Amino acid sequence: MRSLLLFWLLVLLVMPLTANAQTSADDEAAIELLEALDVDSFPAKGEAINAIVASDDERARAWLQALLDGRLQRADDGRFVVVLDNTGRDWPVEDALSGEALGEMSRRDLDRIGINNALRNQLRSVIAVVDLYSPNLDRRRTSAERLLGEVDEELAEPIEALIEEEEDARVRQRLTLALAIHRLEQGDILAIEHLDGSLHPRVRVALNQATNSDDEEIAAAAATALGNIEQNLRLNRAAETLYFGLSMGSVLVLAAIGLAITFGVMGVINMAHGELIMLGAYTTWAMQQLIPGQPGLALILSIPAGFMVAALAGIAIERGVIQFLKGRPLETLLATFGVSLILQQLVRTAISPQNRTVVSPEWLSGSLVVNDALSLTLNRMYVIGFALVVFAALMLVMRRTRLGLEVRAVTQNRAMARSMGIRATRVDILTFGLGSGVAGLAGVALSQLTNVGPNLGQNYIIDSFMVVVFGGVGNLWGTLVAGLSLGVINQVLEPWAGAVLAKIIMLVFIILFIQKRPRGLFPQKGRAAEG
């Protein structure tokens, strides 16, 4: 027993000594690496940088980054330190080996290890290579991206080995492109096969340079690859235009669908519909003021709140103005136009004439990257989905509820619906409230795409009426098809003709279309439609 205790006591005494010896050996090796940097010869410093990379020391990246930033310096006592902040007379520093804070040192007591532009380029490349070994996937992807167009002969071999070991497809693809660009610069025609079809800008730069090559075969192959890439770019631009057109069309659908319901049921031209959209947008802004720091929760709560605010405002307009002007469309138009001006001035007085910004939550920020030439912004994607959900909900209301049945009856023949016991006045109130509430939802969606201001609704009221007339008064499917179609058409025309001329062309198109089909794409059914 005594022998066993003596054995373990000896082990406990020897282990710290062994660990200290190992630590001391590591520090000695690290000091040698850093001392190789503190020389006058720039080529020697380049070799020292490569030695640090090859050392596999976990501190290598920090040293190289500090050297690149000019923060790796040597104190008068011979220690290597990293400057944390180089403003003022005295600088806070930490030990380059241990990372221990050493307090502040006078800049006169420090000697910066100088580098030139060639070494800076070398450092950026080798830091990227060091990052490729990182377990952090985002760091590896960023590193691979940096290497495009920056690979030289020294980096080619380790990158080729990394391509075989890398598990992430995106990192492998970027490294393959980086290596192919380098090989193309060296005159390897086979590298064009790896570059053909890539939409990355650095690839196009490399191929453009290759078209001026003295080797006619390489120049011809590069020109062919560029032609294929340009064709892919045109397709991606068309897809981006379609996406932006659908997102704009979704806003038009949300803005017009409530107008289509009220116009179809009551025959009312509501010029204050744009201001109901504005109220929905301001409700979203107000919710963010009530719940600061939580834009996601505020946005979710704004959906029912925006609907209710706009619906109540719509009911007030119907009860206060429209019910007294039924059967007089021109007077209704003028009266609701006056209401729109009142609502605009009310917002300017109560809130501000200045635009307000609504903060988008994180899950609405950013974009979905499809490829190097096409990325789909998430806020527009959510607006498209939101519009489709609202449309589906309205279809369920119109097809599966008593209110929907009564609305369809009044739309088709008001007199016959009254004779069957349907209270048309009640239907008018609920329908106007429903249509106004949907306008409020359009404002909630618009708040994620643009600034909120008193004139927000005026930008969409004319387009909304065009959608209603083009699709067919009172028809939801017609509103959906017309809104998405006009959104795409406008997005196609704007880059070519400009915003104003594009609107004029669309208006002329709709006028000509209405001459041919006066009731729109999807005309109403029933005796009222025939009359």
Q: State the Cα–Cα distance between residues 478 and 449, nearest whole angstrom.
A: 25
Q: How far is CA 445 from the centre of its chain?
A: 15
Residue 112 parent element (H or E): strand 110-112
Contacting residues for 396 by C-beta, under 8 A, at least 6 apart = none
Q: How many residues does the chain have?
A: 531
Query: Could you tell me if 199 and 233 are in contact, meaning their C-beta atoms sit under 8 angstroms apart?
Result: yes
Q: What string of pLDDT tens digits covers the 531 residues of the chain? A: 444 344 333 444 444 443 444 445 567 778 888 888 888 888 888 888 878 777 767 777 788 888 888 888 888 888 888 888 877 778 888 888 888 888 888 878 888 888 888 888 777 777 777 777 777 888 888 888 887 887 777 777 778 878 888 888 888 888 888 888 888 888 888 888 888 888 888 888 888 888 888 888 888 888 998 888 889 988 988 898 899 989 888 888 888 888 887 776 667 778 888 889 999 999 999 999 888 888 889 899 999 999 999 999 989 988 888 888 777 778 888 888 898 899 988 988 888 888 888 888 888 888 888 888 888 888 888 989 999 999 999 888 888 888 878 777 776 667 777 777 787 778 878 888 888 899 899 999 888 888 888 888 887 888 888 888 888 766 788 888 888 888 888 888 887 777 778 878 888 888 888 777 777 777 665 444 444
Task: Name the DSSP class of 354.
Answer: S
Query: Could you tell me if 434 and 266 are in contact, meaning their C-beta atoms sit under 8 angstroms apart?
Result: no
Task: Return the C-alpha torsion angle 333, 338, 343, 348, nearest 10.
Answer: 140
Strand partners, 81: 73, 95
Task: Locate the DSSP E strands across 235-388.
Answer: 367-371, 374-377
Q: State the Cα–Cα distance between residues 389 and 526, nearest whole angstrom.
A: 28
The answer to whether domain 235-355+377-530 has CATH 1.10.3470 is: yes
Query: Where are the domains positioned within the chain?
Result: 235-355+377-530
Query: Could you tell me if 115 and 45 are in contact, meaning their C-beta atoms sit under 8 angstroms apart?
Result: yes
CB < 8 Å & 24+ apart, contacts of 159-167: 159/129, 159/132, 162/132, 166/132, 166/140
Residue 258 CB: number of other CB atoms within 10 A? 32
Task: Give the type of residue at 95.
Answer: D
